[in-house]
Structure 1
């Protein structure tokens, strides 16, 4: 009897401990440099009698000369076709949205814990029928100035291209949520966003339309009060003349470099990586011109829809730009050097299962010195 009581007390203690954990864990300190690229693919096997398809792949180390998928880290999430993906070392988790194709209705966000060794496991599922076309995800940790409790505010931000409304949804304490979840905040937008990134407390969104660009909201936490519906206007709007289908956005504060992906037409070479150096010089709404553009038939760029900058300590020719290209003639992960310009060949090309899987989004975990 005493043994059973011990077991019951132990189980209750574990449950209480897990439910009381703070949602503000610091990233696990790596014993050696980390360079992992997480890839979300959209292919889905509807036939339940056939093996489920992997929809999360990991390239590790992403900065190596081999540039290969880690066969032990391929993972099948419950998403009915993977769309946006975001890894946060603070959450120690991957967040993934679904393609939500007409044949496979899926309006959920999938939370997948990642161990310090890079092992992925399925976790909570956050659902809402309004999460029907999520294109960008970002996990944001905000510590209120003067806070001495070590308890922080944690949010999952997502851009959603709804049929009736286009919105930025914000979920608070996302790792504690499961099942049907109402956004804590919503910002309705009059433009079509895609990728999303927080730069300290500033929100950056890519705007995808003719002559699209970047929309910046300075000091987002100042707008997060009691009201659910946010009534804020962009601080800056940067237009890129001649842009057609801006999708991916990645900004490095350390290098002060921003990259966007854009494409037009239906041929290899029609895709572009737009690179803006000294991005912080722009402090008012204006038209901005790329410092460099990677484009041309040698690049293999067809329909680049996501980008990630690796700007750790090192020389530019040893650092990289990663691109997910969903074009039918490419369907690959392309790696370029940070210093590249013009019609250059990729430094590395990775086909996902011999071009049978289509990449939709990437997220880079890059910590420590390069190589």
Structure 2
């Protein structure tokens, strides 16, 4: 996988829900609803103020419907080109970071409320988590047990923690900073209990695990090393992660570049077991090939519901979001495809899936 007037509707889940976050045992309970909603962040920004601004958030709802491509819900939030987008029903807001790559100094993570009218979802800007250290945010995950938002920034090469993020209106005080070694190049975040998982880029990348990070204090150590590292041999550009602890399935995105050609891959790992006891993991299945349409997949979300059987992937080069069956493997066409009408670039997705699957 990972809003507010409809708090009654979104007051929550049972076992798993957002592509980047599973609730811990200490998280407050929230009732189930039959929800399948995919939030998509696009990176394009209209710099010409005389022209119509680009929308940068698209919503596919229900995401598990037969007609995956139909939606009239798109919005222009305040970000100057969207980066990572993240929703967690315990946080009760949507977070979206900026690309901050146009010289416009947009070092802000925006929070948005939502309301529901019939089948339409309305988003409204709520708060601004502003901090000069948020130069290039690529990973976000919320820990509901202690109301902490963890943020990974590639420029600082650090993991930052913000407390009570849904109530931040302007300046985001960073309560804890974990600066990583130069050799650790991260991207996406997810959590498993009190452990933080971060994807690791580069040749033979994988996952870095920061055990018990929720109980660790701020550190002046500029080389905060992972407690454990897991390698996916032969990987090149691992980006997105989705860890379904309900079905015990892990998914990662990867791609290889050769000249102007890119070949995308989705790694699916079944019966994952305890990652902290492993050093190298091999995928059970790989979805890749010409028919898949995958070129540079950068984010992934598994439907965590016990009966959920879809996996969603955002591909920045194909400019599409693909929906595959979780059981797919090899060179198989996507089960469904979404593309914005003006061909904007999806760079991040977050799935809110709660209650029984409708299919």
1:236-255 alignment runs, 5 A limit: 236-255=228-247
1:33-182 alignment runs, 5 A limit: 33-71=34-72, 73-115=73-115, 118-142=121-145, 153-162=146-155, 165-182=156-173
Q: Which is helix-richer, 1 or 2?
A: 1
Residue 123 of structure 1: CA displacement?
Answer: 0.8
Residue 126 of structure 1: CA displacement?
Answer: 1.2
Query: 1:343 pairs with 319, 322, 331, which one?
Result: 331
1:222-264 CA-to-partner distances (Å, cap 9, x unmatched) read 21x3x45478542221011111100000000001111000001
Query: 1:294 pairs with 287, 307, 316, which one?
Result: 287
Q: Which is strand-richer, 1 or 2?
A: 2
Indicate conservation of the 8 Å contact 1:27/1:90, yes or no. no
Residue 268 of structure 1: CA displacement?
Answer: 6.6
Q: Which structure's CA Rg is the greater one?
A: 1
Number of aligned residues: 326
What is the TM-score with the length of structure 2 in the denominator?
A: 0.86
What is the TM-score with the length of structure 1 in the denominator?
A: 0.83
In structure 1, stretches of 5+ residues that fail to align are 1-23, 143-152
| Whole-Å separation in 2 of the counterparts to 1:104 and 1:312 | 40
| Whole-Å separation in 2 of the counterparts to 1:27 and 1:74 | 30
| Whole-Å separation in 2 of the counterparts to 1:91 and 1:141 | 7
Residue 277 of structure 1: CA displacement?
Answer: 1.0
Larger RCO (CA under 8 A, 6+ residues apart):
2
Aligned to 1:18: none
| Whole-Å separation in 2 of the counterparts to 1:41 and 1:28 | 30
CA RMSD of aligned residues (A): 2.1
Indicate conservation of the 8 Å contact 1:269/1:297, yes or no. no
1:140-160 CA-to-partner distances (Å, cap 9, x unmatched) read 112xxxxxxxxxx21111110
In structure 2, stretches of 5+ residues that fail to align are 1-25
| Whole-Å separation in 1 of the counterparts to 2:252 and 2:326 | 13
1:342-361 alignment runs, 5 A limit: 342-355=330-343, 357-361=344-348
